[in-house]
Structure 1
């Protein structure tokens, strides 16, 4: 299970937000994230807030959609009572866990509740994550008919041995099949990949890239494996059963991904994300990186509105009890000060291909740009035009770039 929640102030039972949260709200997009915390099997590398059937202690999956709908109704009341003007959702994202362990009708009903409480912008992006073995053609067609526009499949690797190390249970040969079904249903498709798994070679990674490209998704994400404390994978590495990921090999794998994806017509738009065109970028994730507002529904979900961040009770039983009692499911929150918001803005905007407006940096940050150019971390032509945009080397060292900009 996931690590501890952040340390913050207690969240009020009524969920009301300070007046500062509504300042300039009309200038920010609004999204909804729905966390579905159920998985058939716990993957060894995962520290997300997820639960298998044996860990739920009497909580029933079939009750979850009604509980989440209760939070959506609560969210609308909170925003109205806090004086924050209603905004239709530009994006909706169902993540987990495995959202598609719920019946398609439950996901469609939740989307209907979002539509009823907030409305959806014309052309809103509506995504569900899915494991390749958790859906069939009928399920995907039901999502599309219910208003979903996009599905993101957790492919991770095309190499059975690598999938086994990650405790992934799907057959890699199923990936092109589910992509075809999604296409037939009229859904855009994203594939998620993980690289630098212990024991994975550069040739293994190349095979996974080739298989992903062959499936011709609209969007790909490629994340370097992070070994999180408390996970099964961390314990196996600590016992010497597996070698720890190699940073140099991970860098080589990233460069290989960027080369092959670019050759196949995918352009990077965030350090770990590539898309066939601007229209196929993940608008929901861009909302996070651009500091927009979102309400996170479900156990352990995080929300952000106007510099106020809060997080829900983690366990589904505790979450269900709070919803049933009619009080906020949030257990903690923090109001970000100006300095923290500025730090986060730079940290996030640096990661996207539009980069950072140089004029928005403090004097020390602007002074650091010349050194970053000299070190090959920042695009010099973009800098002359007033934008700080990372080179590929800069993407590999993005955290170091941020530190230098904020010093």
Structure 2
């Protein structure tokens, strides 16, 4: 699809940029690299990933991924602000390759290192040999624990158990003591069969064992076409009702606060401002980022509007076709960008900064949403804070995030394209 470019000789010119032409040279920009492999697919997961064949991951895939990462890094005249290598499970890849990937990003052109370099990994995959990654420039590790209790791990279809979680956490703590990186752990709540006491116990044990400086606490979402959804539809699993989920989330939020964790986003908690995830904060502000790998998304600016890139969900095509040829490129309308801004910005404790909104879109926030905001005020609980500087949800508003975004987005139906 052609994208409206700047005017030339008094005429609007339509162009189709290449992927590399979209990479900002000097503007602040982040990088996400997607590793689409897992030992086994979790029953709740709707993200794109595959179990590799018995003979291992094709070296051609590794070569292509490294080629694309090297080229987007060379397209920059300054370092990426932040980098996140996710999946899937990056721990599936050879340690030597991961170290080469990290060092490629941090050393090409000698332009410096990102402000934050994160990688996620499952606890059973973490090895002492991964010390190479921290020597190469990695400075933040995110471990997917989800639960410390075997019965809940089984419900989630995790390829791990309590003992492997304990071993992974112990190894992470040893590596952290040596290299001083920041540590995040993911936990899941609202699992069928999980009690409030179960969820609180997971939090307490995690903090007692490794005291991570960051915890991501997600409530389980039943995604369509997943094995979990099939079990729920078949009646073998019963999802917690909305009131029970709200009670569990509030209890967990209170417990984290009591342990010294500040909720700066609906699912993210840090011990201090310096330990927040800078990469995710850039997502929530709709800052620019490049996505590399199958299904990896990116959003960059061109000619005053946002452009989305998305990798194809096809590892074979990614490996066999030319570099960057499997990404879709299309512009977002102003209404689409505004909707995404609502969805992402209202997840945070800061909310949407009105001055930034006006500068980005040319419309004042309250001019667009005043009628919708008045309707929200009629709700029994105080759902939001509306000041001159920002519009942010309260804890009660967080509980109704999706509904509030949908409600506000109805004001965008007449927004310009």
- 1:46-95 Cα deviation digits (max 9, x unpaired): 121111124x9x87344433211111244367xx5xxxx74420111110
Q: Structure 1 residues 385, 327: CA separation in 2 closer, same or farther (over 3 Å shift)?
A: closer
The alignment partner of 2:206 has SS state of: helix
Q: Conserved in 2, the CA contact under 8 Å of 1:296 and 1:302? A: yes
Q: Conserved in 1, the CA contact under 8 Å of 2:64 and 2:323? A: no
- 1:7-27 Cα deviation digits (max 9, x unpaired): x88997943657xx86xx86x
Q: Structure 1 residues 284, 60: CA separation in 2 closer, same or farther (over 3 Å shift)?
A: same
The alignment partner of 2:120 has SS state of: strand
Return the alpha-carbon distance in structure 1 between the equivalents of residues 119 and 259 of structure 2: 25
The alignment partner of 2:81 has SS state of: strand
- 1:166-215 Cα deviation digits (max 9, x unpaired): 11132323354133123223221000011111221222212112122223
Give the aligned CA root-mean-square deviation in angstroms.
Answer: 2.8
Partner of 2:7: none
Equivalent of 2:348, from 315, 337, 352?
A: 352
Q: Conserved in 1, the CA contact under 8 Å of 2:91 and 2:126? A: yes
Q: Structure 1 residues 399, 75: CA separation in 2 closer, same or farther (over 3 Å shift)?
A: same
How many residues align? The count is 381
The answer on 1:234 being equivalent to 2:234 is no
Partner of 1:302: 297
Q: Structure 1 residues 90, 131: CA separation in 2 closer, same or farther (over 3 Å shift)?
A: same
Q: Structure 1 residues 63, 405: CA separation in 2 closer, same or farther (over 3 Å shift)?
A: same
Q: Conserved in 2, the CA contact under 8 Å of 1:87 and 1:118? A: no
Structure with the bigger RCO (C-alpha within 8 Å, sep 6+) is 1
The answer on 1:184 being equivalent to 2:177 is yes
The answer on 1:64 being equivalent to 2:55 is no
Q: Conserved in 1, the CA contact under 8 Å of 2:184 and 2:213? A: yes
Q: Structure 1 residues 119, 235: CA separation in 2 closer, same or farther (over 3 Å shift)?
A: farther
Equivalent of 1:94, from 85, 107, 110?
A: 85
Partner of 1:334: 330
The alignment partner of 1:53 has SS state of: coil
Post-superposition shift, 1:378?
Answer: 4.1
* Structure 2 length-normalised TM: 0.83
- 1:337-389 Cα deviation digits (max 9, x unpaired): 22221222222111112112346414142454455456434454xx3453222
Give 1:78-227 correspondences, 5 Å limit.
Answer: 86-117=77-108, 124-139=115-130, 141-172=131-162, 173-185=166-178, 186-214=180-208, 215-227=210-222
Mark the runs of 5 or more structure 1 residues left unpaired by the alignment.
1-7
Mark the runs of 5 or more structure 2 residues left unpaired by the alignment.
4-14, 356-363, 412-417
Return the alpha-carbon distance in structure 1 between the equivalents of residues 107 and 374 of structure 2: 51
